[in-house]
């Protein structure tokens, strides 16, 4: 008989680990997108490089409004965006915690908490900047924005 290595089955006691790994992957994706947008600026179909989870709202903005919101965001939260070195330290800490035996859920949770705080900071700042910008629009511009938003929402489909 040949001995083939077998993987331990996913048991009810392993689910927190897989949940944390899935959550980590999602958090890393979102943080990467947020930081990338904030640091690189204009890219792809998002003229002006602004999305930050605002989807159709960001696409419905005209170029001037998008640039103004991006400028406001970089001014308000730009200094709080972690440096490449900080992100590297977080990544190393996360990978070490994931590979540790025994598994250290608290170490993983600490990194995920830092990432969640960054995501929340950026999302809250983006919402505030959007609301401020909409509040500054003359009524005709606000109506035009609303019409573009309707088209974007229709294109996006139901929530």
Distance of alpha carbon 39 from alpha carbon 152, whole angstroms:
25
Instruction: Tell me what pLDDT residue 45 has.
Output: 37
Instruction: Tell me what pLDDT residue 135 has.
Output: 94
Instruction: Tell me what pLDDT residue 123 has.
Output: 84
* CA dihedral of 22, 23, 25, 30, whole degrees rounded to 10: 150
**pTM: predicted TM-score of the whole model, two decimal places:** 0.58
Bridge partners, residue 46, by sequence: 43
The domain ranges of the chain are 26-36+48-156
Instruction: Tell me what pLDDT residue 36 has.
Output: 56
Instruction: Tell me what pLDDT residue 155 has.
Output: 84
Residue by residue, pLDDT tens for the chain (159 residues) are 556 666 665 555 666 766 667 676 666 666 666 555 554 544 433 344 555 567 888 889 998 998 888 888 888 887 777 788 888 888 888 888 888 888 888 988 988 898 888 888 888 888 899 999 999 999 999 999 999 999 988 887 665
């Amino acid at each position: 008989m040949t001995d083939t290595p077998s993987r331990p089955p996913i048991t009810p006691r392993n689910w927190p680990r897989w949940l944390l790994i899935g959550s980590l992957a999602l958090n890393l994706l979102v943080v990467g997108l947020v930081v990338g947008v904030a640091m690189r600026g204009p890219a792809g179909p998002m003229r002006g490089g602004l999305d930050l989870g605002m989807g159709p709202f960001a696409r419905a903005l005209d170029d001037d409004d998008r640039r103004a919101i991006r400028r406001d965001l970089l001014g308000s939260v730009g200094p709080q965006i972690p440096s490449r070195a900080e992100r590297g330290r977080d990544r190393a800490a996360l990978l070490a915690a994931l590979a540790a035996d025994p598994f250290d859920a608290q170490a993983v949770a600490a990194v995920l908490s830092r990432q969640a705080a960054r995501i929340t900071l950026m999302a809250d700042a983006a919402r505030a900047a959007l609301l401020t910008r909409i509040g500054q629009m003359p009524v005709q511009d606000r109506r035009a924005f609303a019409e573009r938003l309707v088209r974007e929402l229709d294109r996006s489909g139901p929530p």
